[in-house]
Amino acid sequence: MKNAYFFFSVFILFATQLLLSCSPDERAQQLQIKIIETSDVHGAIMPYDLVEDKATKSSLAQVHAFVEQERANKNQVVVLLDNGDILQGDPMVYFFNYQRTDTLHLVASVMNYMGYDAGTVGNHDIEAGHPVYDRLRDAFDFPWLAANAIDTKSKKPYFKPYTMLEYQGVKVAVLGLITPAIPKWLPPDIWSGMEFQDMIESAKYWVEVIKKTENPDLLIGLFHAGVDYTYAQQQAETPMNENASRLVAEQVPGFDVVFVGHDHEGWNEQIDNWAGHKVLLLGTTSRARDVAMASVDLQLSKATNHYQKTITGEIVEMADIVPDSAFIQKFSPAFRQVQKYVAEPLGTISQTISSRESFFGDAAFTDLIHQAQLEQGEAEISFTAPLTMDRQLEAGPIYVRDLFKLYRFENLLYTMKLGGQEIKDYLEYSAGLWFATMTSPNDHLLLFATDSTGAIITRNGKARLKNPFYNLDDAEGIIYTIDVRRPVGTRIDIISLADGAPFDLNKTYRVAVNSYRGNGGGGHLTAGARIPQELLQDRILQSTEKDFRFYLMQWIRENEFVEPRVTNNWKIVPESWAENAKKTDQKMLFEDAK
């Protein structure tokens, strides 16, 4: 009798749960959801550029005002997501990462105040180091996601893999993924205790978990990875592809929206997955210039008890949004602290230098970095790129803020041992990313991005380079030429060392590079010099303990008076061709591409 009662009770409980889970009355018949994504904010918290010391029209203050406007519409639900890379790129975050660590991190205060529902970790968040991102993970009021960042001890995700949100009975799953290329860019101790899995394989696993355990009505991908899976000579089949967001959307059925980040491109397109269903691919640019917003209309079908979905996307510019006054008031004390910090004088610089010149030959802007790297790294040869696209340091007093113009992100400085042939191959690789092959003085010198018709791609009226500016390395410590008439891979002639001594292709040299490059970033050492990725650590002779900008500040304080000079240790040939092309290309790149 007891057994009969037990089984009857279980049956009634099961039937009740089944009826409740299937009953249309328990779920919204119709629901409008606005899903707003920020990504690659890079510290743009307040509407003020602390580096250039001027007001701006984009920041999280504007984003908060926009989100509050949307939340005021009670006919819709608003979901706020962030897609990573907020912890580097601005003095506001640098200060609270490394200078003021005895208080709640400003980013946690800001994002909690804004009411984020979930976020995904970005590679520049990992680059801030364990003490920073571990502290943030615990301080956020929302889950920080990265399903494919695996704890090496537990073999479980180091961050939360996904989160579930529910609105009027509608279940929304958000799966977070991070680009798995971090070991190619960052020193191992920065991501110690973690390993990174392929995004496609990880997505396949976790989508099945989510479907079986959560049965969501809406599945959102929040991926800190770009869209162009061919970047850096990769293919769709390349394991651990850096920019696999489109590949996941296409190859892993189930997603309704895939939000992307990392590439700063701004995406809004409908694509088909392998199951024949539409997936919205949506992403922002950077520094809170805009947000990506998915509008989701859900209509419950009585016949199937499933929602019919209409999903559209848009990129919403923040330039005309008035910053939220309560936000400004709340975070002004922190802003004033950082404002005081960046106004600290370091020394004096003898002349104005501009990163613009660095794209067309040897320049004082990059040679100043070389000078510091050679001294700090006790090196014979130095490699660097212009690490800002269009910045200028004015002659006169130089302040902490100016170092963010010269050196935007936090990299360590490595001194590595490289062979002479590897140095030449490194430069050949860089020249291939940088310069077009010229057949006449009227050709373009720079390698611009083009569309399928061969037309140069523009953004905001300016021509775009085919490859990132921060991968266009030149060298100091050697005298060499780049002949742009020759095919890629045969352009570099190294004449001698800087002091006139012979350069030996078979000799080993001490070479200064930043840690991004030294760990394989950009491919100069792996694809260019053909050093296996797993052997790069063996080439490191010494490394700074702190970021190189910190040592740059010390170096300027010690020298007091900085006198940048162009060493003219390298040149583009034919010189007349390069000079002729520069006039057009400089205007296209920085002024007007028409």
| pLDDT tens by residue, 30-86 | 999 999 999 999 999 999 999 999 999 999 999 999 999 999 999 999 999 999 999
Host H or E run for residue 67: helix 60-71
3-state SS class at 141: coil
Interval 459-476 mean pLDDT: 95
- By the 8 A CB rule, do 553 and 400 touch? yes
- By the 8 A CB rule, do 349 and 367 touch? no
- State the CB neighbour count (10 A cutoff) for residue 453: 5
- Domain 345-590, what fold? 5'-nucleotidase;  domain 2 (3.90.780)
Measure the CA–CA gap between 253 and 505, rounded to whole angstroms.
52
**pLDDT over 90, % of the chain:** 92
3-state SS class at 408: coil
**pLDDT for position 25:** 53
Measure the CA–CA gap between 267 and 425, rounded to whole angstroms.
35
Measure the CA–CA gap between 298 and 270, rounded to whole angstroms.
18
Measure the CA–CA gap between 176 and 161, rounded to whole angstroms.
6
- Determine the Cα angle at 577 with ends 574 and 578, to 5°: 85
- By the 8 A CB rule, do 481 and 492 touch? yes
pLDDT band at residue 11 using 50, 70 and 90 as cut-offs: very low
pLDDT band at residue 532 using 50, 70 and 90 as cut-offs: very high
Measure the CA–CA gap between 271 and 31, rounded to whole angstroms.
24
| pLDDT tens by residue, 470-494 | 999 999 999 999 999 999 999 999 9
Give 290's Cβ-side CA count (13 Å radius). 17
Task: State the SS3 of 195-243.
Answer: EECCHHHHHHHHHHHHHHHCCCCEEEEEEECCCCCCHHHCCCCCCCCCC
- Residue 307: is its pLDDT beyond 80? yes
DSSP for 541-553, written as a single string: EEE-SS-HHHHHH
Q: Pick from 554, 365, 459, 408: which is nearest to 89 by CA?
A: 408
Measure the CA–CA gap between 44 and 128, rounded to whole angstroms.
16
Task: Check for a shared fold between 26-337 and 345-590.
Answer: no
**pLDDT over 70, % of the chain:** 96
Host H or E run for residue 71: helix 60-71
Q: Pick from 254, 264, 257: which is nearest to 228 by CA?
A: 264
Which tokens go with 323? 């910053």
DSSP state of 506: T
Q: Pick from 32, 40, 37: which is nearest to 281 by CA?
A: 37
**pLDDT for position 234:** 86
- By the 8 A CB rule, do 314 and 323 touch? no
Q: Give domain limits for the chain.
A: 26-337, 345-590
pLDDT band at residue 22 using 50, 70 and 90 as cut-offs: very low
DSSP for 437-453, written as a single string: --SSTTS-SB-B-B-TT
**pLDDT for position 409:** 87
DSSP state of 456: B
- By the 8 A CB rule, do 436 and 488 touch? no
Helix, strand, coil distribution of the chain in percent, nearest 5: 35, 25, 40
Q: What is the largest CA-CA distance in the chain?
A: 102
Pick the more confident residue, 447 or 407: 447
Interval 447-475 mean pLDDT: 94
CATH homologous superfamily of domain 26-337? Metallo-dependent phosphatases (3.60.21.10)
| pLDDT tens by residue, 105-157 | 999 999 999 999 999 999 999 999 999 999 999 999 999 999 999 999 999 99
Q: Pick from 238, 272, 290, 229: which is nearest to 83 by CA?
A: 290
Measure the CA–CA gap between 194 and 553, rounded to whole angstroms.
32
- Residue 4: is its pLDDT beyond 80? no
- Residue 593: is its pLDDT beyond 90? no
pLDDT band at residue 465 using 50, 70 and 90 as cut-offs: very high
Q: Which amino acid is at 303?
A: A
**pLDDT for position 14:** 40
pLDDT band at residue 7 using 50, 70 and 90 as cut-offs: very low
End-to-end CA distance of the chain: 89
pLDDT, averaged across the chain: 94
Neighbouring residues of 51: CB distance < 8 A, sequence distance ≥ 6: 90, 91, 342, 391, 401, 402, 404, 405
Pick the more confident residue, 8 or 172: 172
Host H or E run for residue 49: strand 48-49
| pLDDT tens by residue, 310-347 | 999 999 999 999 999 999 999 999 999 999 999 999 99
Interval 373-401 mean pLDDT: 96
- By the 8 A CB rule, do 407 and 552 touch? yes
CA distances for 554 relative to 89, 185, 273, 403, angstroms:
20, 25, 53, 11
Length of the chain: 594
